[in-house]
Structure 1
Amino acid sequence: MAKNLAHQLIEQHLVSGNMKPGEAVQLKIDQTLCQDATGTMVMLEFEALGLPRVKTEVSAQYVDHNLIQADFKNADDHLFLQSASRKWGIWFSRPGNGISHAVHMACFGIPGKTLLGSDSHTCAAGSMGMLAMGAGGLQVALAMAGLPFSLTMPEVVGVEVTGKLPPWVSAKDVILEMLRRYDVKGGVNKIFEYYGSGLANLTAMDRHVIANMGQEMGATASVFPADDNLRAFLRQQGREKDFVPMQAETGASYDAHDSIDLSTLEPLIACPSSPGKVVTVREVAGKSIYQSYIGSSANPGLRDFAVPAKMVAGRHLPQEISLDINPSSRQLLEELSRSGDLNTLLQAGARLHQTGCNGCIGMGQAPASGRISLRTVPRNFPGRSGTKEDQVYLCSPETATASALMGKITDPRDMDMDYPIFSEPEKLNDMRPLILAPQDTSNEIPVELEKGPNIQPLPDFEPLPDKIDGPILLKTGNNVSTDEILPAGTDILPLRSNIPAISHYTFSRIDETFYSRAKDLDGNSFVIGGENYGQGSSREHAAISPRYLGVRAVIAVSMARIARRNLINFGVVPLLFNKPSDIARLNQGDILGLENITQQLQAGREIVVQLANGKSLNVTHDMSEEEVSTVIAGGLINKVRNEKL
């Protein structure tokens, strides 16, 4: 039977399980990726495993999120990550080299390989014919230790791509069209595999844009074939020898089908405050803006900066507009300098920022209060920019630049100019000499980990008790993101290596009293969630911090894939309402009880929740046998400690 590309990749890496949607499978992981906002936890977790060296083909640690060194915390963490990389055989990319996903694609991505990253946008590498997925840091640490990655076998949605993008429409509009169709939860437990004649008109970096924001649909992964366009990209990087052709077999079938005719698309924009609130640019045109922001892991390609440069050539930005330029890598910044495009942007009045994630993760560049910011970033969750009640729109570089020039949201097709012509250079500078390579195993020098005062040990969590009772400490709405469960930003993210300190901010964007109420309780508690609980970032702090504060179970209508697994990894029981309407039966402050919970979890899917009024509520769980044993053990670290690696 002819296989699609996703099934080929999974089959080649299958360790155990049945490749039937909904079944538990385990996959061998070839490569891992970490960034600094989540990487410190990964390194602390890997340290706890007691292994001398990683067992993957490639493991890389990037510093791209926490670049603002306002005090010692970030700088100390950077030194810790560098020492950990030297100690355990990990490639280390220092601050300023660029965004992990763009740099990894340029330096290490190889068709046919699996990649697991402690950043949810690791899925961007699916643009290279890889099976690339984001996960919680603990699962990445275990993959570095050579253990397989456990997940639910996803459905594969085949998306046939035809046609060619018209002028002023680019790859960002393609993924925004997908989000318009699927919203932020329509891709959960799905892999989107793109194929068809239209792919000939999408470069490797165009595909990166689409694969990156597949995460915003909740997808497990996005997959593109490895074809001549990818070969051209690898040749540009001096790595053509790494090219391996990969594509779906003729006549391959899919679990579901969709199609996109590129020629029919128009400029799109996602309105505040969700990537799924997509409309045409013309529907919101005319609104005054404060800021346009070019860059991020979602639009990291050279053309995403060169086209805006050509658009502003010979023009000056309005005095009240901030056009923020965030180069994605040193390689790109060097090429923009060489070509003169950087100078063109600066002469027009643009602001240049350091290479990295920056404002995308709330690390600077926060917009003024009450003002609109147009950004080419992947997410616009409430407050993620660093400004409370922000108004962030997601759009293409063309739309962001046209709007900056006009001072208001503008469809770039309405600009009085021809669409700029851009051609990729045949060769770019090799970035690999800028990345610290692992030590030669034949001549290893002992390395001591450098731990600053802000780096604290992981909390020890006890196994699941036989009985859990306590109040509902918080009841949330739908689509609560990890940014709302445990925010990022300049004040909070530097505490990522210190769970007692960062836990002060747990659910602070929803209820500023959560921490104090949890500490006063000093006991077990519950959180109630709506649909798609925990969407967004892979940060496991959004599971560890609630667990540290006594949350033992989350009951939700549905959960995002990575958030659900992170809860399990740290001993928090993920439960689901049998009927969405049952959520109305529970209110914040209600006392709940789970009797004989370990036995209930082992016996079947149905779980009985005791209510304070003497009644009960039946909920369910969708955990595999491995996941049940993990949560009963009190988390994955406890479980692994009891097993032989």
Structure 2
Amino acid sequence: MEAVKLYEGGVYLVDGSMVVPEAETGAVKNAMGREVTPDEARRGTIAYGIMQGHNTSGDEKNLKVKFDALTSHDITYVGIVQTAKASGLEKFPIPYVLTTCHNSLCAVGGTINEDDHLFGLSAAKHYGGIYVPPHIAVIHQYMREMMAGGGKMILGSDSHTRYGALGTMAIGEGGGELVKQLLGQTYDVATPEVIAIYLEGAPAPFVGPQDIALAIIGAVFECGYVKNKVMEFVGPGVSSMTTDFRNGVDVMTTETTCLSSIWRTDEDTKKFLADHGRADDFKQLDPADVAYYDGCVRVDLSKIRPMIALPFHPSNVYTIDELNANLTDILADVEKHADEISGRAGSLDLLGKVDSAGLHVQQGTIAGCAGGNYTNVIEAAHALRGKSCGAGEFALSVYPSSQPVFADLVKKGAIYDLMQAGAIIRTAFCGPCFGAGDTPANNTLAIRHTTRNFPNREGSKPGNGQMSAVALMDARSIAATAANGGVLTSAETLDCWGDVPEHDFDPSSYEHRVFNGFAAAKEEEPLVYGPNIKDWPEMEPLGENILLQVCSKILDPVTTTDELIPSGETSSFRSNPLGLAEFTLSRRDPAYVGNAKKTAAYESARLEGAEPAELADVFAAIRTVTPEAAAENVEIGSMVYAIKPGDGSAREQAASCQRVLGGLANITKQYATKRYRSNVMNWGMIPFQSEDDPAFEVGDFVYVPGVREAIASGATEFTGHVIRDGKVAGTMALYVAPMTDNERQIVLDGCLINFNRNKR
């Protein structure tokens, strides 16, 4: 069998160890000898029990979830608190952890970053939250060490919110969904399908969590096998890995586009929680004796070899040996893709980095919630003990994921070994994951044990002629490459793995620096505002009819949230809605902001009571569709067309920036993730989809009559009339996938803030 196998159709898991494809059996008997149907056996998954335990709807097929805790970082928490405040927030009703780990090293924008950090601390005091200062921990490591536990559900405003290996179903969503929880509302979603990730065998000593994760991502991403579903890790192979190791696999499940993850727990899970002072948070989680899954990914851990995800996506996966054996052909394909992204030939020269020694890499990074874990850094230190990273182009940076991890690495001598080898040691920081730390030079290749390698995530600005490349690898192979002077090297070439001493967790740094104000809100403590922190602008309710001007048309197979609103230094303006909006699509379609502002000017003129003079022929055309169309009943707004937008980050700014520029809708073939579609709706835009090819260009209009009444009535099908050169040029069939009652009302009200104000 290959290392990763996908089953067609559903499967039964019997006694936690036997996979029985549904197609091969009519039914399966439980321990009592009674045949069970798929619907009955679905209730035997771990995920089902946790989801229903948090479901308040009374309907097992349609969830209304209330979470046990929330978490955000410093790119998102200001906007969330500001939105909740505008919606009537009085205090945080459940533990809400505000971590400062994304922009803690950025110097862009003067005092902006520290101003936002002070705001976060003041919000924790005022509303009763938990504030983790800069450099203390990355968001997900803190949640693993201090908050996650068996049977819990946690919601985070970061896409990599994953604590399944500790028995917690965690979901990464846009800030609007956290606002709902802060206001006592629910997370509404149809009960997702559950896919078994059946693990067997044990990883080789030189194989790390990133290798396993990349092997799975490579198998499931393109075909959408687990999209918006729950990945449930079962099988005997789970116990072949420590919990710290499992955490490194689990956090990468986000890159499959799944909704959440959960693992069966065992004695090692129990030990991890006990070692972190939280033995009571352990819960034994296993599937029932018969459990039904909507699909199965079977992974033979013993067959996985060191992997590499080449630019520009975590699913662009090869074994390192396969790459090294085919450097010319594979790297030529990457260069071609780079030229497509940058819009110019010769943007990236990877083939020029190959000589008789192999492929030369210029930078290595081990960091964040994926790479900075204790086990990964210890293994890297052992590989580099007594060796040298060299004094040439190659440089290695290591970021332990939290102060407790860092402290123990110091005590055990691992930091000394890394520093002696020439590695640079930094504090807990997420910057390398989103283009704000260890930015490589133009035309260089970096290898990273982090979460993503999208364009722009490493700091590239293709529109400015700046182009670098990042490949994802496990810390073990990165260390092997460093020990080989920066020549790409598989960890399999070294024999130093597996000697990992027990991690001694000391919470002192948390006890001395983390502000814990949960259940102790102090209304008298003022919120501290820096000059960049601005309130959300007013947004209109949805009009009776809408006239959408096409302001961007993107025909890429997938459009990431980092293309919709770039990460990196632009996120320093995250707390200023209009300031940040200036960067919308700036690295993918620089003309978009100007186009959207022009459309917004038409709407401003309409709100003053007159049809915009420039649109006289357009209004004449739409009156051939609906004769009563006039300035008072036709809202004008901008629209983005993309084939499949929203892969990647949970940041709501990917949608809110469009909205504050006057956006009214997206039209897509499909949405890459649920979280981006949720962001579109929470910011009052209509999540249109269409099977039709777009018969319009930038500057054209799409007129959708009767849209307000249709959405209010629950209609799902709409007709868009394409207006070009002042004439109706044709129609386009539009539809909206199912929306909850609240989602429809949010869109009708114009945004979540308006929805909550109206409720009050």
Separation in structure 1 between the aligned mates of residue 106 and residue 367 of structure 2, nearest angstrom: 21
CA contact (8 A) 1:211 1:221 kept: no
Look up the SS of the partner of 1:96 in the other structure.
coil
Look up the SS of the partner of 2:594 in the other structure.
helix
1:326 alignment partner in structure 2: 399
How far the C-alpha of 1:190 sits from its partner, in A, is 0.5
1:133 alignment partner in structure 2: 171
AA of the residue aligned to 2:165 = S
Of 693, 706, 716, which aligns to 1:596?
A: 706
Of 200, 222, 225, which aligns to 1:162?
A: 200
Separation in structure 1 between the aligned mates of residue 448 and residue 322 of structure 2, nearest angstrom: 17
1:277-314 deviation line (CA, Å, top 9, x unaligned): 11111232332110010111122320110101000111
Separation in structure 2 between the aligned mates of residue 311 and residue 80 of structure 1, nearest angstrom: 42
Counterpart mapping for 1:138-149 below 5 A = 138-149=176-187
1:372-391 deviation line (CA, Å, top 9, x unaligned): 00011111111111123321
1:187-230 deviation line (CA, Å, top 9, x unaligned): 32200000111111122222222221111111100111232111
Deviates more, 1:137-146 or 1:300-309: 137-146
Look up the SS of the partner of 1:121 in the other structure.
coil
1:66-89 deviation line (CA, Å, top 9, x unaligned): 112522000000000100011111
AA of the residue aligned to 1:67 = S
How far the C-alpha of 1:519 sits from its partner, in A, is 1.5
Is 1:621 equivalent to 2:736 in the alignment? yes
How far the C-alpha of 1:233 sits from its partner, in A, is 0.6
2:653 alignment partner in structure 1: 541
How far the C-alpha of 1:335 sits from its partner, in A, is 0.8
Look up the SS of the partner of 1:106 in the other structure.
helix
CA contact (8 A) 1:191 1:223 kept: yes
Counterpart mapping for 1:98-497 below 5 A = 98-122=137-161, 124-183=162-221, 185-285=224-324, 286-319=358-391, 320-388=393-461, 389-406=467-484, 407-415=486-494, 417-425=495-503, 427-429=505-507, 432-433=510-511, 434-438=513-517, 441=520, 444=522, 446-476=524-554, 477-490=556-569, 492-497=570-575
Deviates more, 1:230-239 or 1:279-288: 279-288
Structure 2 CA distance for partners of 1:191 and 1:440, relative to 1, 3 Å: closer
How far the C-alpha of 1:6 sits from its partner, in A, is 0.4
Look up the SS of the partner of 1:259 in the other structure.
strand
1:530 alignment partner in structure 2: 643
Deviates more, 1:353-362 or 1:107-116: 353-362
Separation in structure 2 between the aligned mates of residue 432 and residue 163 of structure 1, nearest angstrom: 37
Look up the SS of the partner of 1:92 in the other structure.
strand
AA of the residue aligned to 1:92 = Y
1:509-545 deviation line (CA, Å, top 9, x unaligned): 10122212222332412111112x1111111111111
1:554 alignment partner in structure 2: 666
How far the C-alpha of 1:114 sits from its partner, in A, is 1.1
Deviates more, 1:249-258 or 1:2-11: 249-258
Counterpart mapping for 1:63-82 below 5 A = 63-68=100-105, 70=107, 71-82=110-121
AA of the residue aligned to 1:608 = T
1:601-628 deviation line (CA, Å, top 9, x unaligned): 3342211111124421112111323222
How far the C-alpha of 1:430 sits from its partner, in A, is 5.0
Separation in structure 2 between the aligned mates of residue 328 and residue 427 of structure 1, nearest angstrom: 13
CA contact (8 A) 2:541 2:748 kept: yes
CA contact (8 A) 1:235 1:427 kept: no
Of 706, 713, 720, which aligns to 1:609?
A: 720
2:99 alignment partner in structure 1: 62
CA contact (8 A) 1:606 1:618 kept: yes
Look up the SS of the partner of 1:36 in the other structure.
coil
2:77 alignment partner in structure 1: 39
How far the C-alpha of 1:144 sits from its partner, in A, is 2.1
Separation in structure 2 between the aligned mates of residue 585 and residue 445 of structure 1, nearest angstrom: 55
Deviates more, 1:32-41 or 1:511-520: 511-520
1:503 alignment partner in structure 2: 581
The alignment yields a C-alpha RMSD, in angstroms, of: 1.7
1:6 alignment partner in structure 2: 47
AA of the residue aligned to 1:42 = I
How far the C-alpha of 1:599 sits from its partner, in A, is 2.4
1:230-268 deviation line (CA, Å, top 9, x unaligned): 111112212212222222222111122221111111111
Look up the SS of the partner of 1:521 in the other structure.
helix
Separation in structure 2 between the aligned mates of residue 49 and residue 205 of structure 1, nearest angstrom: 39
Look up the SS of the partner of 1:537 in the other structure.
coil
Look up the SS of the partner of 1:167 in the other structure.
coil
Separation in structure 2 between the aligned mates of residue 605 and residue 565 of structure 1, nearest angstrom: 16
AA of the residue aligned to 2:319 = T
How far the C-alpha of 1:576 sits from its partner, in A, is 1.2
Structure 2 CA distance for partners of 1:234 and 1:138, relative to 1, 3 Å: same
AA of the residue aligned to 1:295 = A
CA contact (8 A) 2:360 2:488 kept: yes
1:633 alignment partner in structure 2: 749
Separation in structure 2 between the aligned mates of residue 427 and residue 631 of structure 1, nearest angstrom: 47
1:37-57 deviation line (CA, Å, top 9, x unaligned): 11111111121233321111x
Look up the SS of the partner of 1:585 in the other structure.
coil
1:160-211 deviation line (CA, Å, top 9, x unaligned): 1111001211111111111111126443220000011111112222222222
Look up the SS of the partner of 1:473 in the other structure.
strand
CA contact (8 A) 2:373 2:400 kept: no
TM-score (norm 2): 0.81
Separation in structure 2 between the aligned mates of residue 428 and residue 250 of structure 1, nearest angstrom: 39
Question: Structure 1 regions of 5+ residues with no counterpart?
Answer: none
Identity of aligned residues (%): 28
Structure 2 CA distance for partners of 1:503 and 1:17, relative to 1, 3 Å: farther
How far the C-alpha of 1:639 sits from its partner, in A, is 1.3
1:451-479 deviation line (CA, Å, top 9, x unaligned): 01000001221111122213211111222
AA of the residue aligned to 1:9 = I
Structure 1 or 2, whichever has the larger Rg, is 2
CA contact (8 A) 2:550 2:640 kept: yes
CA contact (8 A) 2:101 2:137 kept: yes
Separation in structure 2 between the aligned mates of residue 564 and residue 332 of structure 1, nearest angstrom: 36
Deviates more, 1:447-456 or 1:145-154: 145-154
1:534-560 deviation line (CA, Å, top 9, x unaligned): 111111111111111122111111112
Look up the SS of the partner of 1:615 in the other structure.
strand
TM-score (norm 1): 0.95
How far the C-alpha of 1:439 sits from its partner, in A, is 6.1
Aligned length: 632
CA contact (8 A) 1:295 1:304 kept: no
CA contact (8 A) 2:158 2:172 kept: yes
